[in-house]
């Protein structure tokens, strides 16, 4: 379990993380979502004791990371997959990590097997592709067989096969009862991987809910109506309490009323409908809507 309470990080006048509190539970994958610059890496670095909070506290199984007696046996974290000595072989990299953390040598071969790097164990890490580096980084997190795992944007830049592999590994680790926190700026990715979502924007908590609830609450239900009588029907819908907007000629997007009610209203008033389709905004749209005010660099405005 990871607990974050009132966590804050200032860089001069910049507030990177702003009074953040959340709990990451065991046995599930928790997606840590936010647009670029939202403060995900900074939060993870504070959980890992790499950055000191300006205020608040982050604990792993009840203790600050720096106070854990055998940290790698409790928390395995991957923040930067390229932070490996390039001339070291994969095997030696893991062996150094194991030895400096009092972990048994046999774990090196075991984790190389888990991530599927056994055949390239003797290759220099500097020659590894991004996907292989990511696997090596993950092997390092698993060395201590920790109960808690944390990955910062693990699928960034990976090909579909690499993404699928990471997704399955996260699910497996959570299935074994571990606590898995994984950051991403892609809602679509988290929708496929996470059970629970913690969403932040500009360092602040925006949402903390199960994926199911997030889908239910965030994805707005609308009804698409195509009719030759847009103006008249829009007035009728508004008068009956619906919200109406129009994206293209001859089409109304109705919210606040389901498709049956819209159909009944049209029938009662003799309005001819060419189409009546219930629709749902995508999760990606819901996420963008939720964090719209907190995106650091807005395409329309240049710099926020
Ligand atoms: N060492 C630092 N000095 C000054 N500002 C920093 C530092 N580290 C991060 N920041 C700023 O803090 C904010 C949060 O950055 P952070 O890297 O935590 O965000 P993020 O959500 O991980 O985004 P990304 O996905 O782009 O890495 C950003 O505005 C960033 O520029």
pLDDT of residue 300: 45
Alpha-helix residue ranges (DSSP H) falling in the chain: 40-47, 71-74, 90-100, 106-114, 130-142, 160-175, 187-193, 211-218, 230-239, 259-268, 283-291
Of 183, 215, 247, the domain-final residue: 215
CATH number, domain at 237?
A: 3.30.70
**Average pLDDT for 184-205:** 90
> Looking at the structure, do residues 236 and 127 belong to the same domain, yes or no?
no
Q: In the prediction, which pLDDT does 304 show?
A: 35
Predicted confidence at residue 128, as pLDDT, reads: 86
Tell whether 102 and 165 lie within a shared domain: yes
Supply 29's token pair: 């994958």
Report the pocket of ligand 1 as residue ranges, CB < 6 Å. Answer: 11, 14, 16, 34, 36-42, 185, 296
Per the structure, how many domains does the chain have?
Answer: 2
Q: Whose CA is nearest to atom 24 of ligand 1?
A: 36
Question: Pairing state of beta strands 221-226 and 75-78?
Answer: unpaired
Instruction: Look at residue 297 and tell me if it is in a domain.
Output: no
The residue among 180, 199, 215 that closes a domain is: 215
So what's the pLDDT on residue 61?
92
**Ramachandran angles phi, psi of 61, nearest 5°:** 45, 45
Query: How many Å lie between the centroid of ligand 1 and the Cα of residue 172?
Result: 30
Cβ atoms within 10 Å, residue 50: 14
- 61 alpha carbon – ligand 1 mean position (Å): 26
* Ligand 1, atom 6: closest residue by C-alpha: 11
Is there a single domain that holds both residue 232 and residue 208? no
Q: Is 139 exposed, middle or buried (0-12, 13-18, 19+ CB in 10 A)?
A: buried
- Residue closest by Cα to atom 5 of ligand 1: 11
Cα–ligand 1 centroid distance for 125 (angstroms) = 27
The last residue of one of the domains, among 168, 189, 215, is 215
Full residue range of the structural domain in which residue 270 is found? 221-280
pLDDT tens profile 47-71: 999 999 999 999 999 999 999 988 9
Does ipTM surpass 0.90 in this model?
yes
Q: Whose CA is nearest to atom 18 of ligand 1?
A: 39
Mean pLDDT of the chain: 89
The atom number, within ligand 1, closest to the CA of 51 reads 1
Pairing of strands 2-11, 55-60: antiparallel
Q: Which is the closest atom of ligand 1 to the Cα of 200?
A: 21
pLDDT in tens, 237-260: 999 999 999 878 899 999 889 999
Distances in whole angstroms, Cα of residue 69 to Cα of each of 1, 74, 78, 83: 16, 9, 20, 24
**Of 32 and 299, which is predicted with more confidence?**
32
pLDDT of residue 217: 75
* Domain-located, residue 225: yes
Looking at per-residue confidence, does 128 or 74 come out higher? 74
pLDDT value of position 17:
94
Q: At what angle do helices 130-142 and 90-100 cross, to 10 degrees?
A: 30
Same domain, 209 and 253: no
pTM: 0.81
């Amino acid at each position: 379990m990871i607990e974050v309470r009132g966590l804050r990080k200032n860089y001069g006048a910049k507030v990177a993380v702003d009074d953040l509190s959340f709990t990451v539970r065991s046995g599930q994958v928790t997606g840590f979502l936010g647009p670029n610059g939202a403060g995900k890496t900074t939060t993870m670095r504070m959980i890992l004791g790499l950055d000191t909070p300006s205020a608040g506290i982050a604990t792993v199984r009840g203790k600050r990371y720096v106070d854990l007696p055998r940290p790698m046996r409790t928390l395995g974290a991957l923040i930067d997959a390229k932070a490996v000595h390039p001339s070291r072989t994969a095997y030696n990299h893991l062996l150094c990590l194991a030895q400096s953390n009092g972990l048994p040598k046999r774990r090196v071969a075991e984790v190389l097997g888990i991530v599927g790097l056994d055949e390239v164990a003797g290759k220099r890490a500097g020659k590894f592709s991004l996907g292989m580096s990511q696997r090596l980084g993950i092997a390092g997190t698993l060395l201590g067989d920790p109960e808690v795992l944390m990955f910062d944007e693990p699928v960034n830049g990976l090909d579909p096969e690499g993404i699928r592999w990471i997704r399955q590994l996260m699910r497996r680790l959570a299935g074994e009862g571990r606590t898995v926190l994984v950051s991403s700026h892609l809602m679509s990715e988290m929708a496929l991987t996470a059970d629970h979502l913690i969403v932040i924007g500009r360092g602040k908590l925006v949402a903390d809910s199960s994926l199911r609830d997030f889908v239910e609450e965030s994805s707005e239900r609308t009804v698409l109506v195509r009719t030759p009588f847009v103006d008249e029907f829009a007035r009728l819908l508004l008068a009956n309490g619906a919200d109406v907007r129009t994206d293209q000629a001859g089409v109304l997007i109705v919210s606040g009323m389901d498709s049956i009610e819209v159909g009944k209203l049209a029938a009662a008033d003799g309005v001819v409908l060419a189409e009546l389709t219930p629709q749902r905004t995508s999760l990606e749209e819901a996420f963008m809507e939720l964090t719209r005010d907190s995106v650091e660099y807005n395409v329309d405005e240049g710099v926020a």
